[in-house]
Amino acid sequence: MPSTLERPVPGSSLVPAARPPRPPRLARLVLVCLATALTVVAVRSQWRRGRRAEPAQPRPVTPRADLYPDEKATIEIFKRASGSVVYITSLARSFFARSLLEMPSVGSGSGFCWDSHGHIVTNYHVISGADSVAVVLPDRTRLPARVVGAAPDKDLAVLRVDASEGQLTPLALGSSSDLQVGQRVLAIGNPFGFDYTLTTGVVSALGREIESFEGRTIQDVIQTDAAINPGNSGGPLLDSAGRLIGVNTQIASPSGASAGIGFSVPVDTVNKIVPQLIKYGRVIRPDPGVAVHSDHFARRIGIYEGVLIDDVIRGSAADRAGLLGTTIVRDGRYYRIARLGDVIVSVAGQPVGDQNAYLNALERHEIGEEIEIGYIRDGRRATAMVTLESGR
């Protein structure tokens, strides 16, 4: 029998009790995601506050020991010598330029202060063909420069700038006569435009011969493994005392960059040539007073030893010694040799096989010095004493 509570109210029917409504699934999923996101944000914020509170610490630096004596010496030499080294730029407009607006070619190299009068020494090929030359001093001052003189066959040139007192310091001068293979050397220059670059090495060899841009042989050249690259040309080569011992001029390299074989014009040659360039604008060479034919001409007529005299200057030492030149006369449409001149085969006892050797032999002597000239005339060898004069 149903209880009173279960009994239906009279006049009504039995209806099951209504259940409470359940939230939709999507709403529950949104709530879960929102709660997760809030938790992540809170944790990340707390982590960031922790990072700001504890910054990362760099590793401690190990104290440096004292520099080695040779390091100190190198540093001191660079500090002292770099104030004498300059950066050289040259501008040249091509002969075939199509327009005045066409950009001129730009060359660059190095140089160094020679004296207190603003003279700068560099390589001839650095300024060859330039319409204008500028020199950048160690204090970054840029000054126009004029060419005072050049010796293309030695690849040397002298410039002059109007620098203020104290802007340039001449380099101390050394000697190349007492150099030894293996001794330490330093090169300062502007390779690839990176100004005031120092490289070190040793004297790799002495007495090398290289060909200048004029085809003449430069003798007694210094070979070094100190890195020399394009832009180093004209810069100084120094010994371990910081003295000038050479002018960097060429490298032997298949790529055009340093391959450990660089060459420098010896300072004894530089010290002989530069004063003449400053005073005369050219090299005054000792000369017996003769003009000689080219090697090509001599070989064509069957002379394979020595140099053939073309002309003897009237009143010269060679004229007084009785040397004879070549007489060439016109015969109809052609020219013929009426008399073959003397062929010089030795200078002061040193054999000379061609014009280059002849000129180099003369350069070993001084103006006013009396030397013996060996020559061949009509197939017979003879000698004559001549006093060298200044070349004309």
Statement: residue 380 has pLDDT above 50 = yes
Domains annotated for the chain, with CATH where assigned, are 76-94+104-160 (2.40.10.10), 184-280 (2.40.10.10), 286-390 (2.30.42.10)
pLDDT in tens, 21-50: 555 666 777 676 777 777 766 656 665 665
Statement: residue 285 has pLDDT above 70 = yes
Confidence band (pLDDT; 50, 70, 90) for 8? very low
AA letter at 386 = V
pLDDT in tens, 316-361: 999 999 999 999 888 888 888 889 999 999 999 999 999 989 988 9
- Tell me whether strands 217-224 and 197-211 are parallel, antiparallel or unpaired: antiparallel
Q: How much is the pLDDT for 129?
A: 85
DSSP string covering 267-318: HHHHHHHHHHHHHHSS---EE-SEEE--HHHHHHTT--SSEEEEEE-TTSHH
Statement: residue 273 has pLDDT above 60 = yes
CA distance 126 to 109: 6
Please state the rounded mean pLDDT for residues 131-158. 92
pLDDT in tens, 108-124: 899 999 998 999 999 99
Residue 177, CA atoms < 13 Å, CB-side half-sphere:
5
Give pTM, 2 decimals.
0.73
Q: Under 8 Å CB-to-CB from 304, ≥6 apart: which residues?
A: 298
CA distance 243 to 80: 10
DSSP string covering 5-32: TTSPPTT----PPPPPPPPPHHHHHHHH
User: Of 143, 240, 139, 136, which is closest to residue 187 (Cα–Cα)?
Assistant: 240
Kind and range of the H or E run holding 370: strand 370-377
Task: List, by residue number, the catalytic residues.
Answer: 125, 155, 233
Strand, helix or coil at 218?
Answer: strand
